[in-house]
Structure 1
């Protein structure tokens, strides 16, 4: 039986990359004979991201555009995509062409013993400062909550829809803390998380990353503390 997969692509001002990214995803899915749908969540883009997706959706009924009228954050975009997913498995990746989606096969290979296959970038092809921020964030989340995943914010994850259905109403984070909260809650709920190396990570070639934005970092810190306090109250 061919895998049944919902591909969730959060996108924010990715007009230079979203078209090639959709072509890439469609090619991988059709080559491997997947039963698939592609859910692009446009998180309030001010460029032509939505228009490009609409054009490709008109030519391929498996592509669906979901729009946030205002930018709500990467976590909110992921959660919107997760809520709309209809397939047995849900695959999360970014729209910035930094991953070879063909490596989804590596994630699929561990799903016999995993509820979430969490990719980790090996090696990671981001600028030094961004890698430094990521390492500090990983250490902080681990200090507060214990081990969750080897590469918390890696946007290359495959999970069972049942995991999303069990957790999505509990998750409050809207920004970059979303992935950490999702993994923390998944582990505490008893779901199996398996770390998988992803070798095809590439540098971003267009668009502007937001992970190192001071406002994004500040929001993440607030959400981290809020989650910690919430879990302490329930303990």
Structure 2
């Protein structure tokens, strides 16, 4: 029987007791193209007891499906970027084929996993291209809510495009779909622990010569009162990361004669 490629969904988790379980339910119920299967990797970034209990309930509920949901954890809070790198390393340990891919999913309910299918449909073959979501490409609440946040996002995306050569509309979008062959090259170059992982990942993809395609995705933004964690200092850090990464060179590739 021909092997079906696996979409590994990495979910960094930090203090999301009310949204984590419905989020994972949506992920597990998301329709995928017939050629794909799904595995979820939760990375608990030293969350509170309620969130940790929710993570453990999710894993127990899937105990009849080995490998479908896996829970990893940090002893101390290290940030979204560190959680993603932990999840990415686990993906590379588990993947059995270069046709597998990884997608990032936040643990809140801002993003809709029903968009996984359109992101996968847009993924080119060859393992040298990534697919990003674009929150501003689809009509809905995102067009009206959090205008200041959107303005800041546009500014960061503009600067990122200026220094990477991409023409991305939404560099900070959570949904980033990366094939395993590309992830193998990118992961050793990632070091950001917090939200600076978004511009760093984009810059590293550019250094690796990867193409980036965008697909409109659904987005229902929440405010800080509802638990949103990114703030002004993360924007300042993002600017520094974008400039710093532009000055770095891609690591030398070993050659054999």
TM over 0.5: yes
What's the counterpart of residue 178 of structure 1? Answer: 197
1:194 aligns with 2:200: no
Q: State the alpha-carbon separation in 2 of the partners of residues 207 and 45 from structure 1.
A: 16
Q: State the alpha-carbon separation in 1 of the partners of residues 184 and 110 from structure 2.
A: 28
Task: Give runs of aligned pairs for residues 72-111 of structure 1, distance below 5 A.
Answer: 72-85=78-91, 86-87=94-95, 88-111=100-123
1:16 aligns with 2:35: no
Q: State the alpha-carbon separation in 1 of the partners of residues 71 and 19 from structure 2.
A: 15
- Measured after TM superposition, the shift of residue 191 of structure 1 is 2.0
- Measured after TM superposition, the shift of residue 33 of structure 1 is 7.9
Unaligned runs of 5+ residues in structure 2 are: 253-257
Q: State the alpha-carbon separation in 1 of the partners of residues 31 and 229 from structure 2.
A: 28
1:26 aligns with 2:28: yes
Unaligned runs of 5+ residues in structure 1 are: none
Q: State the alpha-carbon separation in 2 of the partners of residues 162 and 31 from structure 1.
A: 20
What's the counterpart of residue 255 of structure 2? Answer: none
* TM-score normalised by L of structure 2: 0.79
1:143 aligns with 2:162: yes
Task: Decide which structure has the larger Cα Rg and report it.
Answer: 2
Task: Give runs of aligned pairs for residues 35-114 of structure 1, distance below 5 A.
Answer: 35-61=37-63, 62-85=68-91, 86-87=94-95, 88-113=100-125
1:216 aligns with 2:227: no
Cα 1:32/1:20, change in 2 over 3 Å: farther
Q: State the alpha-carbon separation in 2 of the partners of residues 148 and 167 from structure 1.
A: 20
* TM-score normalised by L of structure 1: 0.86
Picking from 242, 245, 248, the partner of 1:230 is: 248
What's the counterpart of residue 119 of structure 1? Answer: 133
* CA RMSD in angstroms, aligned pairs only: 2.7
